[in-house]
A and B are shown apart, each in its own frame.
Chain A
Amino acid sequence: MTLLIASWIAVLLFGAWCVAVLDNLALALIERRSAAGALTAPLYGAAALLRQQQNRTEAPDLLNWKLAPALYLGLAAAGVAVVPLAPGDILADLQAGIVLWGAVEALTVVVVFLHGWSANSMLALIGAYRYVAIGLPVMLLSMFVLIAAALPAESLAVSAIVESQRSLWNVVRQPLGLPLFLLLGLSLSFRGPFNYADSADLAGGTAAEVSGASRLLWEFARLAMLAAVAAMASTVFLGGYLGPVLPGPLWLLLKTAALLIVLVAASHLFARLSPARMLTLLWVVLLPLAFVDLLWAGVVAL
Chain B
Amino acid sequence: MVFWVFSAVAVVAGWRVFCTDSMVRASFLLLVSFIAVGAIMLLLNAPYLGFATIFMMGVEMMVMALFMVMFMMNPAGLNPMMMVHQHRFSIAAGAAAFVGLAIAIFTTGFPHDPVAAGRPVIHDLGRELLGPSMLIFESAGVTLLATMVASVILSSRSGRFGAADEGSVPPPLEPGGEPAGRRPDDEGGGHAHHHH
A and B touch in the complex (CB under 8 A): yes
Interface size, chain B (Cβ < 8 Å): 25
Nearest residue (CB) in A for B45 is A95
- A237 an interface residue at 8 Å Cβ cutoff? no
- B40 an interface residue at 8 Å Cβ cutoff? no
Nearest residue (CB) in B for A155 is B122
Judge whether A110 and B78 touch: CB under 8 Å.
no
- Complexed CA–CA distance, A109 and B121 (Å): 29
- A61-B25, A96-B122, A99-B47 in contact; A117/B76 too (CB < 8 A)? yes
Nearest residue (CB) in A for B46 is A96
Judge whether B55 and A106 touch: CB under 8 Å.
yes
Chain A residues, Cβ within 8 Å of B65:
113
- Complexed CA–CA distance, A63 and B25 (Å): 11
- B59 an interface residue at 8 Å Cβ cutoff? yes
- A99-B47, A120-B78, A156-B122 in contact; A129/B59 too (CB < 8 A)? no
Contacting residue for B47 out of A94, A114, A125, CB 8 A: A94
The interface bits of chain A over 103-125 (1 if a CB of B lies within 8 angstroms of the residue's CB, else 0) are 10111011001100100100001
Contacting residue for A109 out of B48, B56, B59, B76, CB 8 A: B59
- B18 an interface residue at 8 Å Cβ cutoff? no
| A75–chain B nearest beta-carbon distance, Å | 10
Interface size, chain A (Cβ < 8 Å): 25
Judge whether B63 and A103 touch: CB under 8 Å.
no
- Complexed CA–CA distance, A220 and B51 (Å): 26
- A103-B58, A136-B63 in contact; A114/B51 too (CB < 8 A)? no
- B37 an interface residue at 8 Å Cβ cutoff? no
| A207–chain B nearest beta-carbon distance, Å | 18
Judge whether B31 and A110 touch: CB under 8 Å.
yes
Judge whether A129 and B66 touch: CB under 8 Å.
yes
| B15–chain A nearest beta-carbon distance, Å | 17
Judge whether A132 and B47 touch: CB under 8 Å.
no
**B contact patch SS:** helix
Judge whether B51 and A100 touch: CB under 8 Å.
yes
- Complexed CA–CA distance, A197 and B174 (Å): 40
Judge whether A125 and B59 touch: CB under 8 Å.
no
Judge whether B59 and A136 touch: CB under 8 Å.
yes
- B28 an interface residue at 8 Å Cβ cutoff? yes
- A152 an interface residue at 8 Å Cβ cutoff? no
- Complexed CA–CA distance, A105 and B48 (Å): 16
Judge whether B51 and A103 touch: CB under 8 Å.
yes
| B33–chain A nearest beta-carbon distance, Å | 14
- A158 an interface residue at 8 Å Cβ cutoff? no
- A106-B58, A109-B58 in contact; A95/B31 too (CB < 8 A)? no
- A248 an interface residue at 8 Å Cβ cutoff? no
- B61 an interface residue at 8 Å Cβ cutoff? yes
With most chain A CB atoms within 10 A of its CB, the pick from B22, B56, B122 is: B122
| B136–chain A nearest beta-carbon distance, Å | 21
Judge whether B61 and A99 touch: CB under 8 Å.
no
- A61-B25, A114-B28 in contact; A156/B48 too (CB < 8 A)? yes
- Complexed CA–CA distance, A59 and B76 (Å): 14
Nearest residue (CB) in A for B60 is A106
| B154–chain A nearest beta-carbon distance, Å | 21
- B52 an interface residue at 8 Å Cβ cutoff? yes
- A102 an interface residue at 8 Å Cβ cutoff? yes
Judge whether B47 and A110 touch: CB under 8 Å.
no
- B84 an interface residue at 8 Å Cβ cutoff? no
Enumerate 25 A-B pairs (CB-CB under 8 Å) in ascending A order.
Answer: A59-B78, A61-B78, A64-B28, A95-B121, A96-B48, A96-B50, A96-B122, A103-B55, A105-B55, A106-B56, A107-B58, A110-B28, A110-B58, A110-B61, A110-B62, A113-B62, A113-B65, A117-B76, A117-B77, A125-B76, A132-B62, A132-B66, A136-B63, A139-B59, A156-B122
List 10 tightest A-B contacts by C-beta distance, closest first: A106-B58, A99-B51, A103-B55, A96-B47, A103-B54, A102-B55, A96-B48, A107-B58, A106-B55, A106-B59
A-to-B contact residues, CB < 8 Å:
59, 61, 64, 94-96, 99-100, 102-103, 105-107, 109-110, 113-114, 117, 120, 125, 129, 132, 136, 139, 156
